[in-house]
Amino acid sequence: MTALRALYPALDREVNGKRLVYLDSACTALKPARVAERLADFYANWGGCGGKRSTHLLSQQVETWFQEARRAVSSFLRAESPNEIVFTSGTTEAANIVCNAFPYEPSRRKVVITDLEHNAVALPFIEAARRGDIELSICPTENGLLDLDRLADLLDEKTALLAITHASNVMGGVVPVAEAAKLARRKGIRVFVDDAQYLGTHREDVSTLGADFVAFSGHKIGGPFGIGALWGHETELNRLGTWKLGGGTVKSVSWDLKSAPEPVYLDAPGRFEAGVQNFGGAIGLHEALKVRESLPAGALRAHVGGLARRLAEGLSGLGAVRVLGRAADLEKGSLVTFVPAHPDFSAVDFNLFLNHELPGRFIAIRVGEHCAHLQHRRLGVDATARASLGAYNTAGEVDLFLDAARAYAQEACGG
């Protein structure tokens, strides 16, 4: 653990003269120093433009690194080919691509999502439904639990696509996406999986998942901001239309506007990677994947699952808060969210308390709606408090947080 923590300089820093306890990895994971160093070297000493635009040495080197990064993502996801990897700015862009480029048909234009979806996935489909492009059904969940029978009822012959998260950023645990995908595929329904929260501490094997598309964000696994990927079976990616258009997406464009020219677009991934790419981001993500891949998957899950259980048990014993999600599920995930259960426990005040009132410690968690408005409307609350974990967190840090929660509850609610 000491060697792992040493990779992350932020763990050693002070905030307002206090030691940082970082329990906000669901928002963004801390970055290993080598990712920052790789980016600094790239921008200071290279910085050329890849993508087969220019052909000089700088450009060739950047393009080589960019394609190496694509191969690294492909191997991380156990994809069959790097052609299945589209670089995006993150899960948000990936969801927008699939939503807006999907070949809906008049008799098959229904999309099913769940009420666990992050706005990154929910909003593109809500807007497509408002425009009349699709019909949208939202499958309700109970305390984070997806009822597969209920989902099966919504997946009918008019359904084109199921878009579903593998791990909710509010309710914790994991969602049985493989089972959901099996239900969908039986009816010829395509499946988009949001792995933004899942890949932080889980492995994904897209070759056996049963989904057609999977998205993730690099910054949630220690990579830079503004880079992520959309994986799709090559045939599925090539069935999609286009969304964002520009340089690097097209084979030919005709001049003759009168003859209604149709530009001929490249196959995936080029068709979706319009404009100059985030070369630095992809190269930094590759570096982050080296760290991520060096962590043994079983040990990582056992460690983070144990911390999630410790958090959930500690908070449940508090009385002044209600932990969301089912206890048995929470250790399968990497975050624990709670709502006040006492009128004098304020999530917003608690957050301030963690930042300003603790002797020698600054504890970072997240309070709010976490861009998961559907789930917050379902819960009927404006704000929840979420503590989330990375491989680098320790039981001691969880205990510091629990001690702080007890101290706040004592002060605010008298116990």
CA–CA separation, 218 and 88 (whole Å): 10
Judged by CB under 6 A, the residue of 137, 197, 334, 337 near ligand PLP is 197
Instruction: Give the range of 40-48, 56-64, 71-79, 191-199 binding ligand PLP by CB under 6 A.
Output: 191-199
For residue 244, which of 86, 45, 51, 74 has the smallest C-alpha distance? Answer: 86
Residues 63-92 that bind ligand PLP (CB under 6 A): 90-92
CA–CA separation, 363 and 311 (whole Å): 14
Is 99 an annotated catalytic residue?
A: no
Judged by CB under 6 A, the residue of 73, 139, 196, 289 near ligand PLP is 196
Helix (H) or strand (E) holding 180: helix 177-186
Helices (H), 317-393: 327-330, 347-356, 373-379
| Other CB atoms within 10 A of residue 380 CB | 7
Least distance to ligand PLP from the beta carbon of 118, Å?
Answer: 3
Burial of 258 (0-12, 13-18, 19+ CB in 10 A): exposed
Based on CB atoms, which residue is closest to ligand PLP, 59 or 92?
A: 92
Using rule CB under 6 A, residue 284 touches ligand PLP = no
Based on CB atoms, which residue is closest to ligand PLP, 118 or 190?
A: 118
Task: Give the number of C-alpha atoms closer than 13 A to the C-alpha of residue 245, restricted to the C-beta side.
Answer: 11
CA–CA separation, 217 and 124 (whole Å): 17
Based on CB atoms, which residue is closest to ligand PLP, 200 or 269?
A: 200
Looking at residue 276, its amino acid is: V
Hey, CA dihedral for 49, 55, 61, 64, is it positive or negative?
positive
Using rule CB under 6 A, residue 194 touches ligand PLP = yes
Catalytic residue among 27, 49, 99, 371: 371
Using rule CB under 6 A, residue 98 touches ligand PLP = no
- CB contact at 8 A, 96 and 125: no
For residue 67, which of 80, 82, 57 has the smallest C-alpha distance? Answer: 82
Cβ-proximal residues to 25 (8 Å cutoff; 6+ apart), any chain: 200, 220, 334, 388, 389, 390, 393
Least distance to ligand PLP from the beta carbon of 365, Å?
Answer: 14
Least distance to ligand PLP from the beta carbon of 26, Å?
Answer: 6
The site that binds ligand PLP (CB under 6 A) totals a number of residues, namely 12
Least distance to ligand PLP from the beta carbon of 166, Å?
Answer: 8
Based on CB atoms, which residue is closest to ligand PLP, 74 or 334?
A: 334
Based on CB atoms, which residue is closest to ligand PLP, 108 or 292?
A: 292
Binding mask 214-253 vs ligand PLP (x if CB under 6 A, - otherwise)?
---x------------------------------------
Residues 112-171 that bind ligand PLP (CB under 6 A): 118, 120, 165, 169
Residues 324-383 that bind ligand PLP (CB under 6 A): 371
Based on CB atoms, which residue is closest to ligand PLP, 117 or 212?
A: 117
- CB contact at 8 A, 138 and 274: no
Helices and strands counted in the chain (H then E): 15, 16
Least distance to ligand PLP from the beta carbon of 116, Å?
Answer: 8
**List of residues contacting ligand PLP (CB under 6 A):** 90-92, 118, 120, 165, 169, 194, 196-197, 217, 371
Name the residues annotated as catalytic.
371
